[in-house]
Structure formats: structure tokens, C-alpha cells
């Protein structure tokens, strides 16, 4: 479980295909102290929950490795990452931690595309196009996670939705480098998914 509050930006430094392309192992540099890393711990990498399978130190930075299975490579942007890619990182939530964003599972629902970026004096406005099977779960003033960042939806129009990003978020996450045409991992609010499922079940029972 995560909160959508990015705590570091990692750098992908190696990608090793395994199991005939059905599995990738990635080595990622980060700023987390090596003595706080734990084998088997969960880290959200650009919003995708991964399990730490190795870690160590390289120069003045910590590195950790994760495995990405075929389903992850298919349904997220992970399969498109290359060496040098910068990705948002967040370690899993601990009991007693501040819930600064919203509850994020790290289970990406699909890939959204940036169709517009508007830079304004005090913020930036992004318009995203979500997959049609996912957009029904996105509501104005609701929450979404974009590449692991907890954001509030500003407006919704069909399969498109917009968010407003403050300068601090642009500076400390990868959103600052995101431009029109870019693709991001999208996770909708889990409460919206459960509410939709309950509604479907009740309608089916009433028929």
C-alpha cells in the first residue's frame, strides 16, 4: 500500500531480459539509505508495485533490483523503459505513517496519454486521455495516481481528464519533464472501483 507521495526519483541503469522476454530484471539507483533496504520490500516504481530482489551500494548511491513479469510489461510503461530512465519512487506505507495523498495499491489500471500541457505562471495543466475501460472510474474532484503521484482530478470530459500541478510537484517528480504525447501509468481510486463493482452486482441481482 502506498500514498502517492513520491519520496525519490530513481534512475534505471540496467535492464536484463529473462525467461524468453517474459521477465525483465532492472537495476535502479536511488537515494534511500542502504541500511534501510529490505529484501522482499515493496517499492512503487512510477506507480507500479515491485518487490526488491537485491540491493547494495554504488558510489554514493544505493541500488536495488526488481523483476517485472510479462503482465506488467504488457499493461504498463515498464516495458518501454531504457537505461537512463528517471522514475518516481515511493516505499510502502508503514502503520502510523502520514497519509498525505490517497490510498494507492500500485496496481496500474492502464496507460494514459498526455494530449495537452499548458504551462501557466503558477502551475501547469495537463490533459490526459485514459483507456475507455478505465475512464468510467474517474470523477471530477476524485483521486488518481499518475506515474505513482497522487493527484486530484480537475475536469472530466469523456475519456479525457485534466489535473493542475503546482511547481513543487513539477520539481520533485518526473512530471516536470512530461510533454504532450508522453505516456504514464494510471491507477484510479480503489474506492471508485469497488463502488462500481457493487453497483454492477446490485443491478444484476435486480434483473
Active-site residues, by number, are 2, 42, 49, 51, 69, 107, 152
Instruction: State the Cα–Cα distance between residues 120 and 202, nearest whole angstrom.
Output: 45
One-letter-per-residue 3-state SS of 59-110:
CCEEEEEEEEEHHHHHHCCHHHCCCCCEEEEEECCCCCCCCCCCCECCCCCE
For residues 186 and 113, is the Cβ–Cβ distance under 8 A? no
For residues 126 and 117, is the Cβ–Cβ distance under 8 A? yes
Cell of 110: 492502464
| CA neighbor of 124 nearest in space, from 99, 146, 142, 103 | 146
Amino acid at each position: 500500500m502506498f500514498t502517492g507521495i513520491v519520496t525519490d526519483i530513481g534512475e534505471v541503469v540496467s535492464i536484463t531480459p529473462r525467461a524468453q522476454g517474459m521477465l525483465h530484471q532492472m537495476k535502479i539507483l536511488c537515494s534511500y539509505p542502504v541500511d534501510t533496504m529490505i529484501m522482499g520490500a515493496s517499492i512503487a516504481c512510477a506507480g507500479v508495485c515491485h518487490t526488491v530482489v537485491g540491493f547494495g551500494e554504488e558510489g554514493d548511491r544505493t541500488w536495488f533490483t526488481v523483476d517485472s513479469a510479462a503482465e506488467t510489461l504488457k499493461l504498463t510503461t515498464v516495458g518501454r523503459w531504457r537505461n537512463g530512465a528517471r522514475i518516481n519512487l515511493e516505499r510502502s506505507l508503514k502503520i502510523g505513517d502520514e497519509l498525505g495523498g490517497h490510498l494507492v495499491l500500485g496496481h496500474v489500471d492502464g496507460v494514459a496519454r498526455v494530449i495537452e500541457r499548458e504551462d501557466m505562471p503558477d502551475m501547469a495543466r495537463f490533459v490526459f486521455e485514459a483507456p475507455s475501460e478505465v475512464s468510467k472510474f474517474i470523477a471530477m474532484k476524485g483521486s488518481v495516481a499518475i506515474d505513482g503521484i497522487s493527484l486530484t482530478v480537475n475536469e472530466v470530459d469523456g475519456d479525457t481528464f485534466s489535473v493542475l500541478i503546482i511547481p513543487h510537484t513539477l520539481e520533485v517528480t518526473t512530471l516536470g519533464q512530461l510533454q504532450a504525447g508522453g505516456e504514464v501509468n494510471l491507477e484510479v481510486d480503489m474506492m471508485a472501483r469497488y463502488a462500481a463493482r457493487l453497483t454492477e452486482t446490485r443491478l444484476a441481482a435486480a434483473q
